[in-house]
Amino acid sequence: MGVMSYILEKRPKRLIYLDHSASTPIDSRVLKAMMPFLAEQYGNPSGLHSQARALASALDRARTEVAEVLGCKPKEVIFTSCGTESDNLAIRGIAFSAARAGKGQHIITSACEHHAVSHTIKHLCEHFGFQQTVVPVDRYGLIDPADVKRAIRSDTVLISVIYANNEIGTIQPLAEIGEIGRQLGIPVHTDAVQAGGYLDLNVDRLRVDLLSLSGHKFYAPKGVGVLYVREGIPLLPQQTGGGHEGGRRAGTENVPYIVGLATALKLAQDIRSVENGRLIQLRDRLIRGVQAALPDAQLTGHPTQRLPHHASFVIPGVDASTLLMHLDLAGICAASGSACNTGMSEPSSILLAMGIPPQLALGALRLTLGRSTTMDDIETVLEVLPTIVERLRTTHPNE
Amino acid sequence: MGVMSYILEKRPKRLIYLDHSASTPIDSRVLKAMMPFLAEQYGNPSGLHSQARALASALDRARTEVAEVLGCKPKEVIFTSCGTESDNLAIRGIAFSAARAGKGQHIITSACEHHAVSHTIKHLCEHFGFQQTVVPVDRYGLIDPADVKRAIRSDTVLISVIYANNEIGTIQPLAEIGEIGRQLGIPVHTDAVQAGGYLDLNVDRLRVDLLSLSGHKFYAPKGVGVLYVREGIPLLPQQTGGGHEGGRRAGTENVPYIVGLATALKLAQDIRSVENGRLIQLRDRLIRGVQAALPDAQLTGHPTQRLPHHASFVIPGVDASTLLMHLDLAGICAASGSACNTGMSEPSSILLAMGIPPQLALGALRLTLGRSTTMDDIETVLEVLPTIVERLRTTHPNE
């Protein structure tokens, strides 16, 4: 029996979506909160009439709700069009502001950042004369705060480190890194896009000055984000025009999505202690099951200091794209690493930075669980995945 | 009888929304096209599985639909988060690219641009060493193409002129200006945000190299835009990360809104010859009626070369904010000028550039019609507006 016929026979009755780190469905409660602003309320929140005021009030409420989760002031919350915009505004906004004030052009970041951070800093270095120090990560993808401290120079203007990594799920010692920045007066930014739905987001406990979030990672729509900027941190706007968002981000506000983001963030934070427990149980069953069935599969990222919904592996002798295609035919949606990185034949720079050999890194598999995931789904994956891997190794022995 | 009691007595049964240049409601046909991507389809279009592919296909279709309206190639269409982002990406992207290639730092623009253009060019001048020439406008807000030609220097890298103005409705001789840029090899950008739903958008007929659109000006949602960039025009990305939008605009694509924008743009263009005729009839009745009832009210912008849905005036002896408040109480949503500019006590720079005295410019009123506007609405406005103006002049004689 070939791989295909096996797959079609074993195809589960419902789609098993294990790509929640790439994007989540919009929660029905979130969509319900958004619908009045799509179907009934309209106008421009900057206007001077009743329609406009209703939208401006909804914006105010959403901003206050987000601020409550972050433990900050409403005016420290900037709504953006996505996590990538938040990262860009944070990094470019701080970098250009500091450079123009003559403070320097040196940025510290880590070897396990999302491209929205790493490519943006690279862009500043290539086109605008900035310099960067990339601190390494250990075999679990962890940053050593001492490395950050050692990297600081007199012209360092920004430290940007990820809170929890998208490809490997590792959670960084963010508060320790934040404390280093705080003591030396260097702004600390974190890409908290993957952490948003699962971890503590209190900016004082995390000791960060800028924090990026993306709605569609926690059951709000794709196309809305947040950048928290601590009061007093100078930020040169990157999108100018009207005076929206306190003059820091021009553009008519996307009220439906902003309302959705605020609703989704509050919901995710309200249920996270219970939901995280449930996800960890499923995740650990998945990790143990994969390791039992495929003893040479290696868990990537930290075994315990990782996102509750996140399981990632490298599997020897398997090409990730081929594996994903066969999982898809079997009704299982999975990923190799960052969704923003698919279709590329290069191994992940993050896996390489952790010391994983390039050939092995091409066999990366990421399974990220969500609210709809059940133990039955996990058991189905544990039945289907090892069989596909074994058959691929037989039929595609060179990959 | 005071103003308030008169207003409450005369309040129309339904809301009369005459602020379509600020924002339009989402058309029900547009919302219908969007709903599957809000309620059913999810995932990240960059993924490698069935859910992702369905979204990627929807994106492709939307891009092709927009390209058909613009008469361009699909790959020349960049989806953005709003018209302001489109303007920023066009201007910053061209300016930084040209400056880094040593071509120069001079930008030509006009005295009647939206802040998304004028403030962005000002920002480049203040913070990044660029220089601008602002060509004047005549008393109708019209640019003379000969002035653009005269402003060109050897270091000019961009011409950015608005297609149709938001405050005064005047339509510029864009193709003539585009031809000047084309002959000298200087990229021409136009902010077509207000024109999007009403005028011809064929980029070859308009002779432009970059064109900005915003969804919520033509019955799509707030929070999605388009930037057309002609193939071969070098553009430095302003938002970096994943390789979305051909490497020119990173960030997970807002599929529901992009589908909505494409649907709305096609719809607006399909019905525009009929709908424009209807709007012009209503608009001209409104203009004639206001001028008959308030002989000292002055139409701003060009009397005929103006957007079909757009009527704008300056009314002596009236403060715009007070007038808008009273119109709102009477159930009429109107604006003074740009929604992005409300609440400011300064007179509009565009009205000043047209030679209107500052005191008179503070009495600006903009009434912009839409698909739901009826002749009854217009007659109601013509009954209510003159009475409010007369009473305000009596009760607030100093304004």
Residue A85 near chain B (CB below 8 Å): yes
Q: Do B47 and A333 touch (CB under 8 A)?
A: yes
Torsion of CA B152, B236, B217, B147, to 10 degrees: 0
Residue A18 near chain B (CB below 8 Å): no
pLDDT of residue A395: 84
Q: Say how far apart CA B381 and CA B395 lie, in whole Å.
A: 21
- Compare CB distances from A43 to B34, B325, B333 and report the shortest one's residue: B333
Q: Which of A72, A82, A333, A340 is catalytic?
A: A340
Q: Do B238 and A238 touch (CB under 8 A)?
A: yes
Ordered alpha helix ranges (H), chain A: 3-10, 28-39, 50-70, 83-100, 115-128, 145-151, 174-184, 203-206, 244-247, 255-293, 320-329, 349-353, 358-361, 375-395
The angle that helices A375-395 and A255-293 make with each other, rounded to 10 degrees, is 60
Catalytic annotation, residues of B: 340
Q: Do A44 and B339 touch (CB under 8 A)?
A: yes
Contact list, B368 vs chain A (CB under 8 Å): none
The two three-digit tokens of residue B120, written as one number: 């962005």
Q: Do B250 and A84 touch (CB under 8 A)?
A: yes
Residue B247 near chain A (CB below 8 Å): no
Contact A220, A34 (CB under 8 A): no
Contact list, B34 vs chain A (CB under 8 Å): 38
Contact list, B255 vs chain A (CB under 8 Å): 222
A364 secondary structure, DSSP code: E
Q: Do B238 and A88 touch (CB under 8 A)?
A: yes
Contact list, A115 vs chain B (CB under 8 Å): 240-242, 250
Residue of B17, B38, B212, B349 to mutate when probing chain A, most A C-beta within 10 A: B38
Residue A100 near chain B (CB below 8 Å): yes
Contact list, A221 vs chain B (CB under 8 Å): 38, 254, 256
Residue A237 near chain B (CB below 8 Å): yes
Nearest-CA distance B312 → chain A (Å): 16
Residue B213 has phi, psi (to 5 degrees) of -130, 155
The residue extents of the domains of chain A are 3-26+271-395, 28-267
Q: Do A252 and B341 touch (CB under 8 A)?
A: no
- Compare CB distances from A254 to B46, B100, B222 and report the shortest one's residue: B222
Q: Do B253 and A222 touch (CB under 8 A)?
A: yes
Q: How far is CA B33 from the centre of its chain?
A: 24
Q: Which residues of chain B have pLDDT under 50?
A: 1, 399
Contact A30, A270 (CB under 8 A): no
Residue in chain B lying closest to A344 (CA) = B243
User: B residues 44-63 near A, CB within 8 Å?
Assistant: 44, 46-52
DSSP E strands, B170-240: 188-191, 210-214, 225-229
Contact list, B333 vs chain A (CB under 8 Å): 43, 47, 49-52
DSSP E strands, chain B: 16-17, 77-80, 106-110, 131-135, 156-162, 188-191, 210-214, 225-229, 298-299, 310-314, 332-333, 364-368
Provide the whole-model pTM: 0.95
Nearest-CA distance A255 → chain B (Å): 7
Query: Given this chain, do its domains B3-26+271-395 and B28-267 carry the same CATH topology?
Result: no
Pairing of strands A298-299, A225-229: unpaired
The two three-digit tokens of residue A381, written as one number: 């994956």
Residue in chain B lying closest to A82 (CA) = B251
Residue in chain B lying closest to A22 (CA) = B44
User: B residues 283-342 near A, CB within 8 Å?
Assistant: 321, 324-325, 327-328, 332-336, 338-342
- Compare CB distances from A119 to B24, B47, B240 and report the shortest one's residue: B240
The two three-digit tokens of residue A331, written as one number: 């009704």
- Compare CB distances from B47 to A236, A257, A335 and report the shortest one's residue: A335
Place of tokens 């009527």: B311
Residue B125 near chain A (CB below 8 Å): no
Residue in chain A lying closest to B114 (CA) = A241
Nearest-CA distance B182 → chain A (Å): 27
pLDDT of residue B14: 79
Nearest-CA distance B65 → chain A (Å): 20
The two three-digit tokens of residue B56, written as one number: 């990627």
Q: Do A328 and B255 touch (CB under 8 A)?
A: no
Nearest-CA distance A185 → chain B (Å): 24
Q: Which residues of chain A have pLDDT under 70?
A: 1-13, 338-345, 396-399
Q: Do A96 and B127 touch (CB under 8 A)?
A: yes
Residue A126 near chain B (CB below 8 Å): no
ipTM: 0.94
Q: Indicate the length of chain A as a whole number.
A: 399
**Secondary structure of B238-279 in the HEC alphabet?**
CCCCCCHHHHCCCCCCCHHHHHHHHHHHHHHHHHHHHHHHHH
Q: Do B252 and A339 touch (CB under 8 A)?
A: yes
Ordered alpha helix ranges (H), A294-370: 320-329, 349-353, 358-361
Q: Do A48 and B328 touch (CB under 8 A)?
A: yes
Assigned fold of A28-267? Aspartate Aminotransferase; domain 2 (3.40.640)
The two three-digit tokens of residue A213, written as one number: 């979030």
Q: A247-305: per-residue pLDDT in tens?
A: 999 999 999 999 999 999 999 999 999 999 999 999 999 999 999 999 999 999 999 99
Helix (H) or strand (E) holding B381: helix B375-395
pLDDT of residue B337: 78
CATH superfamily assigned to domain A3-26+271-395? Aspartate Aminotransferase, domain 1 (3.90.1150.10)
Q: B113-144: per-residue pLDDT in tens?
A: 999 999 999 999 999 999 999 999 999 999 99
The two three-digit tokens of residue B154, written as one number: 């050897």
Amino acid at site A365 = L
The two three-digit tokens of residue B333, written as one number: 């949503």
Residue A216 near chain B (CB below 8 Å): yes
- Compare CB distances from B22 to A43, A81, A114 and report the shortest one's residue: A43
Nearest-CA distance B301 → chain A (Å): 21
